[in-house]
Amino acid sequence: MNHQPAPTLGELESDVMQRLWARDEPMAVRDVLDELNKSRTLAYTTVMTVLDNLHRKGMVTRRREGRSYLYAEALSQREYAGRLIADAAGRSGDRVGALMHFVDGLDPAEIRELREALNENETPRVANRHGGEGTS
């Protein structure tokens, strides 16, 4: 599997990403700070630095609006989680074994969701393998 590795995130970087993933629109530093300060007290400059680090890591995009930046996710939460799992499975030396061990920890609803995703992913592959057969 060819993919970019998932950037390593610290605890605060993960917390910031959770806030961005929960929003459907870009957030200013102040917006992120206000969300984070509901559970702890952080300085504006701390959050600004974390967002800058996340931008350098390719986790967020930013665009200037007036004198400040608006930040948005560059990777969805699902894409990031997928990269983490692919990285771990790839390093294990036994990708299928690592994934099977991961699946053992899922609850029935998660297994159903995974099964549906696997079926959706397999359908185009089967169609591509057999595409053109039986047509003139």
Reported as a pLDDT band with limits 50, 70 and 90, residue 101 is confident
Q: pTM of the full predicted structure?
A: 0.75
CA–CA separation, 79 and 57 (whole Å): 15
Which span out of 46-60, 93-107, 112-126 was modeled with the highest average pLDDT? Answer: 46-60
What is the fold of 11-73?
Arc Repressor Mutant, subunit A (1.10.10)
Cβ-contact 16, 50 below 8 angstroms = yes
* pLDDT at residue 128, as a whole number: 65
What are the tens digits of pLDDT across the range 33-72? 999 999 999 999 999 999 999 999 999 999 999 999 999 9
Burial 97-118 (b: 16+ CB within 10 A, else e): ebbeeeeeeeeeeeeeeeeeee
* pLDDT at residue 126, as a whole number: 60
Domain definitions of the chain by residue range: 11-73, 77-130
